[in-house]
Each structure stands twice: as structure tokens, then as C-alpha cells.
Amino acid sequence: MRIASLFLFLFLCGAAMRVDADATAPPLIPLPAELSYGSGHLRMDASTSIVLQPNDAANRATAGYLSSLLRRTRGLSPRILASAPEVVAITLVRDPHATVVNAEGYALDVDAHGVRIVSRDDAGLFHGVITLWQLMTPDALHGAVQVPVLHIRDQPRFVWRGLMLDSARHFQSVAEIERLLDQMAQHKLNVFHWHLTDDQGWRIQIKRYPELTRMGAWRTPPDAGHDGEPERYGGFYTQEQIRQIVAYAAARHITVVPEIDMPGHAQAAVASYPQFGVTGKRPSVSVDWGVNPYLYNVDDGSFDFMDHVLDEVMALFPSKYIHVGGDEAVKDQWQASPEVQAKMHALGLKDEDALQGWFINRIGLYLAAHGRQLVGWDEILDGGVSVDATVMSWRGSKGAIKAAQQGHDVVLSPAPDLYFDQLQSDRVDETAGRIPAQSLAHVYAFEPVPKELDAAQAAHVLGAQANMWTEHMPTMKHVEHAVFPRLDALSEVDWSPAASRDWNGFLGRLPAQFARYRAQGIGYADSTFAPDIKLDRNAALVGGTAQVTLSNQAGYGEMHYTLDGRAPDRHAPLYQAPFTVKLPVTVRAATFARDGSMLAAPRQRVLDRTSLLSLSGNEMPNCPGSDFRLRVQPMPDATSLAPVYSINVFNACQLYPATPMDGVARIHVDAIRLERNYALAHDAKLVVSRPHNTPFGELVVHQDQCTGLVLATLPLPDPEHSVRRFTLDAALPAQQGGHPLCLIYTAPIDGPLYALDRVALIPGTTKP
């Protein structure tokens, strides 16, 4: 790929400086393959129109898309005409013989008279139109815009530029999915991998098997009907709705790749049709996140079922690729079943992994006989799979390396790097998700071609995909927060030439993208730029003054702050170096881009004795020995992105950091009872169980270490007869000097899980 322009050269040189990229560079995401400037600008305004070639009905939708996007985001609604008018025009030309670009590519020229976009195919024209829309929305303003005279030649680096959405764990409406597809289109992403079936729900109507959606689409949440928990949760997409989504995507040049997960993650299907499971028994649709034990059977009747399901799937989805999962199938049920074992031996297969290989190959042959191609998670390699299968590498990149070396096509979607259910930052105000955080910078730095591959093997890398699992994303607000702006980083990873990757330049192009999000009501995360207000807590508690440091994850932008209660704006003091404050005071700070737009909404920190002694459970680390940690949000709380609670399902133990204890008289805990709905498969034995002295367990507070002196034991209320949020309060013995605390829940591990919402140490008169 050629990266010809001086512009890019300057861009790369700028990377070393922590300043905005070339202020005149158009804020395009993803960055085009080639861009060069002429001189001057073209003014585009309400009189600008779009000219479509006569007879190009196929691209009328593309022209209409541009017009409607401009209306919503720029207040301009160019008319669509068949011939060039006198006024400035955007001319769209699709020419199958154009030599200027490759598949999905386009050339875009702006001169003093108008804009011309030429492509070989419809997708290329669409991508060119999106680039033009971005050129016309370089800021948050409405009305006329000056677009620089320039020449762009652009084409994608990869053919598979994907985003997966899990609609099984939590369910999204058709309108919500269409909004997501719009954003994919605006980022030149072209594969929507739709995870439609799982243990917790079957979401696609299959007319031959109505129980799949009558029963399989609904689960009864633990604690249903109590404390705001709904009586049942679920939903499904009718075939008509699926056709609508597929058509909506196709109009935006996105292929929908459906996933029907097998042989594991099958509990909702087995709950609907137990005869296609292994045990013959009917489980309920699972409410447990993680790895559930239910597998499909391997008898002919079960394959007939899967073939019939796939018949309807293939009729709905024109995609060449059909995803059949293959992940996380724990083999306990197959091992325990004499019939399955007999079949395995009759087939001459050495173990259950080989049986899964045989299973997947059988499904692959069925798809191939219908002109389709199988794609599956990297476990499909474990039992040996036909080289025609495409492998989606999620257990890191090693599956992709092994598969490409064996000649499989591969898609990189490794956890945790491209798992958008990982938090974006460690901030205490970050919403639900998995830990560790995967920052925007981390996603931006992802390289889809593993360095272990030689050139021939690297040619098997189709591209990269981010996965939006939704166990901990109860609403679309959570999904949007998790996806944006990391989708911007993904789009550049997937589309732009590898050599043009430039983090600082990317940051410089984000303010315009944030404005586009705001214009479309997209709830993007500002975590990358949010001010962290840091100080030495203990020094402040002892001395009554604090040295305050402001920073953010990206180390980018201008932070302005106030100490007088006013909202920080650009006229507030600019943060340049740590400053000293006298308590009590409230520090407020916000981050701004060079163009004056706000990169991160104001954050505040109250600095007084009470606040400094009160910590959220989200800022209290795990006890040593177990890193596992999630932030969760129970459904009834999910009307906004907070509150969220940190849990470790293996060990309910957290540390309150060292604090001067002189004068601390009590401990006050805002606690929450949560469902212990985690299927841990063979890891269940790792859950730490502790003795308790009262029926429902206690919260035990130890001094210094988790084996240290017990300072307080706070019995937990009866879960059957108490609300899920409760407070615990106890006197503490007098202590001197600094001590950390270790807080342990001793509740039985076959009952609910407990989390710390907030822990406050209360000053007062202590008993000696």
C-alpha cells in the first residue's frame, strides 16, 4: 500500500509531540490510504447538490444516506439530481472499469468547483460518501463548510472489519441494532457478527421449531419479581425483523454473519427441545453467566435439528459465512453419556475433542453443500477441522497463528485486547464490565497480523473484529459506552495502512468524531480524557492540605479546573503543574481539545475528612491471591450507567488501603446482595468458602492483613427477608497510626454474593 503524501509524513513526525495534529488536517476516521492537498478550499452550503449518474438506481440509497446524515449533523440537505447543475455539486460515479481503486476502494477529489467520488463497486462509493460526510463535519457547527481542495485514494487494508454483538445475554431492539449498524457504516466496518443463541436465550425465530422462541427466548431471573427484578427476561427477532436488519445492513454495505453456537452454549435450545440434548432432561434457560454444561447430542436426530435450523438461517442471511460457535464446550455430558461414548468409539475417535472436530466438520459439510462457509471460534482447531473452516481467534492470538500456519483463513478477535466488554479505564466512575481495562490506546495499538506469520500465512488474515459480549451490559447505553470510541480505534486498525498508525494524530481527529456522536445522540465514553484528580490521601487527612495532580489516561488535552464551586470551562485556570489546596475544598476539572470543544465532562472530588475516609468498593483492590474481578450492575439499577459493584466470584475479600486510624470510631458499610449466577465449570472448586458464626454469614473487618486482628464482625441480614441494599455499622476499637483493613464476607458460597458499595470510616470518640 502506498502512503504517498507529505501530509502523512508530517503526521507521523508530529507523533512525538503531545500537541494536536496538524490543525488543518481533516478529521477523518479511519485515515485514508492516500491523501494529498491542492491549494484553497471549496465552500459547500445549502445550495450544494448531489449528482448521481443516470440509471444508477443502486446508489440512490447511498446518495440519500449522505443527504440525511448531513441534515442531521450539519443542517444541510443536498438535493439528489441526475445532471450537473450550475452550483457546486457532489458527483457520484460508479464505474466498473475504473482503474483508480481496488474492491471497496474509491477516489475522492475536491476542487474549486465540486466533489467527485469514483469507485468500481457500490461499497466503494458508499465508503467515499462517508469520507465526504466526515470532510463536511470537521467541527460541531451547522451550515456552510469549507472543505480543503484535496485528492484521496482509499481502500481497506482488510476484507473482514468486524463487530460482534451478543443479543443472547441481553437483548437489544431492532432500532438499537440499526443505530449500531449506522455507526459501523460510518466507520467503514463491514461485518456484523450477530451472536443469536446461547445458554441464556435463543433469539432467532425458527418456524420449524417454535419452542426455541416460545420457551428458549425467556429466562426467569434469579430473584424474579423481588427488589425490582422482572418476572421474566428475554425476547427474540422474528424472521421479518431479521430480514429488516439484514437489508438495513446491506444498504450500508455490511454483511450480517449469524452465529448459532454449537455444540456448547446450547442450554436455551436444550431447554426448548430436550430430545436434542445429551441427558434427555429439560433444564431451564440458564441465568448463569460463564460456562454451562449443556451440549447438543451427536445422534442423527440432533443433526437433523441443526440442519433444519441452518436451513432457515441460510434462507434469512445471504452471508457466505455462517458462524457455528464451537467455543467453551465442556465435555462432561458427552463423557458421562454411554450413547455418546459408543458413537465416539464407533467413529474411531480418540476423545471428545476429536468428537467435536467430527461434529464441526459434519456441520461444515452441510454448509458447504449449500454454498456457504463455516467460521468458528478457535476451539474448532482442537479436534482437527477441515482447512476450509475460517477460524476466529479469541483465546489470544495463538489460535490465529496455528490456524494460519495450517492454511485456514483467520479473523483476529482476541480477548482481552478486542473484547469491548472489558472496562475502558480503571476510573471509579467507569460502568459495568470486565477487568482488566483495555484502553482506547490499547485497541489502537492492536496489530492484526501476528509477527509469527510469514507472508504466505499472513495472507490468510482476513481482518480483525471486536466482540461486544453483553453479560454485564444490561442496556444499549452500556453497549454504546463500551463500543465508542473504541470502535474508532478498531476502524483504523482494520482499514488504514499499517504504517499510517499514529496515536497522537488519531487523538487530534477525535474531537470532531465526538461532535458527530453528539449530533447523533450516541453515548460514547469520555474515559480516555476524563480528569483524574489525585492526591496523597493520608497526607491530606493528617495535614489538612493536599497537593493535587490532574491527569488523564491519554495524557492529552487541556485540563481546566476550579476550586470555587463553579463548573470548569475554558476560562477556568489551566492545569500546568500540581497545586496545593487547603481542606475542605472541592476540585472540579474538565478536559478540552485545542478547538475548545470539551473532550471529557467535568469530574469532581470533594476533599474533606468525611469524603477522604469514604471509599467506593470499586476503588478497593482485591485481596492478594485472586485477580478475578468484574463490575456488575443488577438489572433494576440499569436505568443509568451507575451504580456498579465490583465482585470477585472466587473470593469475596477487598482491601481498604492504609489510613491514619487515630480518632476513627466506627465503620459504616453500604452493602449490596447480588445473585451468585456464575457457571464456573471446572473452576468452581476455586471458590473460597469460609466459616461463619451467624446464619447468613458476616462481614469481618481485619486490621492490617486478612489474617490480622478482627476489629469488627457485622452479621448479614436474612436474604429472604431483607432488601438487597443494606447498611452495616460497627464500632471500632481505638487504633493509632496508619493501618490497612481487610474486609471479608463469610457468607455461604451456595447463597447470594455480596459486594461493597461504599465503606466509610467515621471519626468520633473511641473506646480504649
Q: Report the catalytic residues.
A: 198, 265, 328
Cβ 396 to ligand ACM shortest distance, Å:
11
* Residue numbers 712-741 binding ligand ACM by CB under 6 A: none
377 is a site residue for ligand ACM (CB under 6 A) = yes
Query: For residue 274, is the peptide bond before it cis, meaning its omega torsion is within 30 degrees of 0?
Result: no
β-strands 321-325, 255-262 pairing? parallel
Cβ 286 to ligand ACM shortest distance, Å:
14
Please state, in angstroms and rounded to a whole number, the distance separating the CA atoms of residues 644 and 642: 5
Q: How far is CA 635 from the centre of its chain?
A: 18
Give the residue from 83, 75, 63, 190 showing the smallest Cα distance to 129. Answer: 63
One DSSP character per residue, 438-503 reads --HHHHHT--SS-TTS-HHHHTTEEEEEEEE--TT--SHHHHHHHHTTHHHHHHHHHHS-GGG--H
Closer residue to ligand ACM, CB minimum distance, 259 or 670: 259
Write the single-letter amino acid at 716.
L
Q: How far is CA 424 from the centre of its chain?
A: 9
Cell 476550586 identifies what position? 563
Q: What phi, psi does 612 have (nearest 5°)?
A: -70, -20
Cell 483465546 identifies what position? 395
* 327, 430, 480, 526: which one binds ligand ACM (CB under 6 A): 327
Cβ 580 to ligand ACM shortest distance, Å:
48
* 328, 409, 480, 494: which one binds ligand ACM (CB under 6 A): 328
65 is a site residue for ligand ACM (CB under 6 A) = no
Please state, in angstroms and rounded to a whole number, the distance separating the CA atoms of residues 262 and 363: 10
Cβ 375 to ligand ACM shortest distance, Å:
12
289 is a site residue for ligand ACM (CB under 6 A) = no
β-strands 89-94, 114-119 pairing? parallel
Please state, in angstroms and rounded to a whole number, the distance separating the CA atoms of residues 689 and 652: 9
Closer residue to ligand ACM, CB minimum distance, 100 or 415: 415
Helices H / strands E in the chain, number of each: 19, 38
Cβ 278 to ligand ACM shortest distance, Å:
20
Closer residue to ligand ACM, CB minimum distance, 434 or 516: 434
Cα 474–Cα 477–Cα 479 angle in degrees, nearest 5: 70
Cβ 377 to ligand ACM shortest distance, Å:
5
Please state, in angstroms and rounded to a whole number, the distance separating the CA atoms of residues 523 and 482: 9
- Taking residues 149 to 188 in sequence order and writing x for each that binds ligand ACM by CB under 6 A, - otherwise, the string is ----------------------------------------
Closer residue to ligand ACM, CB minimum distance, 394 or 561: 394
Closer residue to ligand ACM, CB minimum distance, 400 or 515: 400
3-state secondary structure of 318: coil
Please state, in angstroms and rounded to a whole number, the distance separating the CA atoms of residues 646 and 644: 7
Closer residue to ligand ACM, CB minimum distance, 327 or 352: 327
3-state secondary structure of 173: coil
- Taking residues 413 to 442 in sequence order and writing x for each that binds ligand ACM by CB under 6 A, - otherwise, the string is --x---------------------------
3-state secondary structure of 410: strand
Cβ 86 to ligand ACM shortest distance, Å:
56
Please state, in angstroms and rounded to a whole number, the distance separating the CA atoms of residues 710 and 332: 42
Q: What phi, psi does 341 have (nearest 5°)?
A: -65, -40
Residues touching ligand ACM: how many (CB under 6 A)?
5
Closer residue to ligand ACM, CB minimum distance, 357 or 497: 357
Name the residue with the smallest CB distance to ligand ACM: 327
Closer residue to ligand ACM, CB minimum distance, 377 or 656: 377
Write the single-letter amino acid at 329.
A
* Residue numbers 679-698 binding ligand ACM by CB under 6 A: none
Three-class secondary structure assignment of 619-645 = HCCECCCCCCCEEECCHHHCCCCCCCE
Closer residue to ligand ACM, CB minimum distance, 324 or 759: 324
C-beta neighbour count of 62 within 10 angstroms? 28
* 192, 394, 529, 745: which one binds ligand ACM (CB under 6 A): 394
Cβ 469 to ligand ACM shortest distance, Å:
6
Cβ 413 to ligand ACM shortest distance, Å:
8
Closer residue to ligand ACM, CB minimum distance, 327 or 502: 327
Long-range CB contacts (within 8 A, 24+) of 183-187: 183/483, 183/484, 183/487, 183/522, 184/252, 184/254, 184/487, 185/65, 185/126, 185/130, 185/252, 185/253, 185/254, 186/69, 186/130, 186/133, 186/516, 187/29, 187/30, 187/487, 187/488, 187/490, 187/491
Cβ 433 to ligand ACM shortest distance, Å:
14
Cβ 320 to ligand ACM shortest distance, Å:
21
Closer residue to ligand ACM, CB minimum distance, 179 or 323: 323
Residues of the shown chain interacting with ligand ACM in the complex, contacts defined by CB under 6 A:
327-328, 377, 394, 415
